[in-house]
Structure 1
Amino acid sequence: MSGLYITIEGLDGSGKTTQLDALARWLTDAGHTVAATREPGGTEVGVLVRDIVLHHRGDIAPRAEALLYAADRAHHIATKVRPALERGEVVIQDRYIDSSVAFQGAGRVLGADEVRRLSEWATGGLYPQLTVLLDLDPSVARQRIDAAQKVFDRIEAEAIDFSVRVRAAYLEMADAEPERWLVLDATLPADELAAAIRERVTDLLRTSGTVGTAG
């Protein structure tokens, strides 16, 4: 594959959408073909899964939730992400495997290794060349969500200790694989964050011609 695969991770309220949009605009202006997407919800099937996992009014068993995310991911990678990478496009994605490891593996206490293996099987082991983590204290993330005056989805409505486990899992993954991760303080001004991301992406565009795989 000749494309570049970038994912953006973090707690809800960390500013992922803002940074994804800024990076997509910058790359497009520089002449790159960009595919901006998200999980869940990056395909028609994903929209249906997103409604179930985030807005279903009843309980969803944690293992069922993890399987729903993996099913969406399998379809999303096969029908949208891999084809875009094969065309040489830059794919920028809001959430990927690392989200499931953090939210279902740690947040739901299902186990990081089990959840990762499930997603690796679903995607054929596809990993991004760069994962940006917008790191944010859970209490600050909750304040931002509250300030937005929105109706909480199922994940946002979880107690603060859930988000504490998620954040810790993210930081542990980033520490274990620093060559793939770029960890940024999400309390910094948006333009400073965007500049730091652009600097790392510029380096990748100069040196990278293939997409990473597991193992």
Structure 2
Amino acid sequence: MSGLLVTIEGGEGAGKTTQSALLAAALEQLGCSVLRTREPGGAPGAEALRGFLLGRDHGLSLRAEAMAHFAARIDHVDSTIKPALASGRLVLCDRFTDSTLAYQGYGLARGDPAVLDFIARLTALLDVRPALTLMLDVRRAEGRRRVRLRGQDDDRYERLDEAFHERVAAGYRTIAAADPARCRLIAAGDPVEAVQRRMVAAVQALLRDGPLQEGAAAPGRQ
């Protein structure tokens, strides 16, 4: 049986890392074999690109930046995600193609149709797609508070202005509205336990009702 790819998306401070860990533990208790991974990263080459993309102002043009994210993503898919799916595992990925669309397409490019189309064409090159995407939606003020509490150095995206982050959040909502069969918008401003219950319920519904082949390698699909 082929595995499943479930992606977790959201802006800065939405709680993706925390909720991914809790969701993995809950699914393992249900008997699933779970692999947690992240983007950019998830494979040695992709992790090297992560440091370049997040660590400093790299000077790439917007389209080149989007392509660099996809270069890391393709390495991640080839090296980590596809082998895990082929072995029947449930892959939980912290960020995937929707992050590029939200951050580069809606955030940096301000929804420029030409850039959105460029990212869509890059997405079409991938031969895996998520069976389910959980989009954590949190008010920006709460996201900022959580980021401050982490006490870590900001990456280059976290340092961008509030207008950028508002565009990213609106972009995620647009993506979710355009693909309701795949995306579940999860209110993430509530206590951690309440958010976890919503996420576990969404994945349980997929396991119960959804086609188990959705996350598998599928040449020609977006």
**TM > 0.5:** yes
- SS of 1:37's partner is strand
In structure 1, the residue matched to 2:25 is: 25
1:26 alignment partner AA: A
Deviations 1:14-42 (Å, cap 9, x if unpaired)?
A: 00011100111111122211111011110
Aligned pairs for 1:47-86 within 5 A: 47-86=47-86
In structure 2, the residue matched to 1:3 is: 3
In structure 2, the residue matched to 1:150 is: 152
- SS of 1:153's partner is coil
- SS of 1:76's partner is helix
The answer as to 2:77 corresponding to 1:45 is: no
Identity in percent: 36
Aligned pairs for 1:102-117 within 5 A: 102-109=102-109, 111-117=115-121
Whole-angstrom CA distance in 2 between matches of 1:60 and 1:150: 25
In structure 1, the residue matched to 2:214 is: 211
- SS of 1:8's partner is strand
The answer as to 2:124 corresponding to 1:120 is: yes
Count of residue pairs brought into register by the alignment: 213
Whole-angstrom CA distance in 2 between matches of 1:58 and 1:199: 40
**Contact kept in structure 1, 2:41 and 2:73, CA below 8 Å:** no
**Contact kept in structure 1, 2:135 and 2:186, CA below 8 Å:** yes
**Contact kept in structure 2, 1:73 and 1:119, CA below 8 Å:** no
In structure 2, the residue matched to 1:176 is: 178
2:136 alignment partner AA: L
- Measure how far apart 1:58 and its partner are: 4.5
**Contact kept in structure 1, 2:139 and 2:189, CA below 8 Å:** no
**Could you say what the CA RMSD is over the residues aligned between the two structures, in angstroms?**
1.6
Whole-angstrom CA distance in 1 between matches of 2:85 and 2:183: 20
- SS of 1:92's partner is strand
In structure 2, runs of 5+ residues without a counterpart are none
Q: TM-score, normalised by structure 2?
A: 0.90
Whole-angstrom CA distance in 2 between matches of 1:136 and 1:120: 29
In structure 2, the residue matched to 1:195 is: 197
**Contact kept in structure 2, 1:12 and 1:145, CA below 8 Å:** yes
2:117 alignment partner AA: D
Q: Residue 58 and residue 3 in structure 1: after superposition, are their counterparts in 2 closer, same or farther (change >3 A)?
A: closer
In structure 1, runs of 5+ residues without a counterpart are none
- Measure how far apart 1:199 and its partner are: 1.0
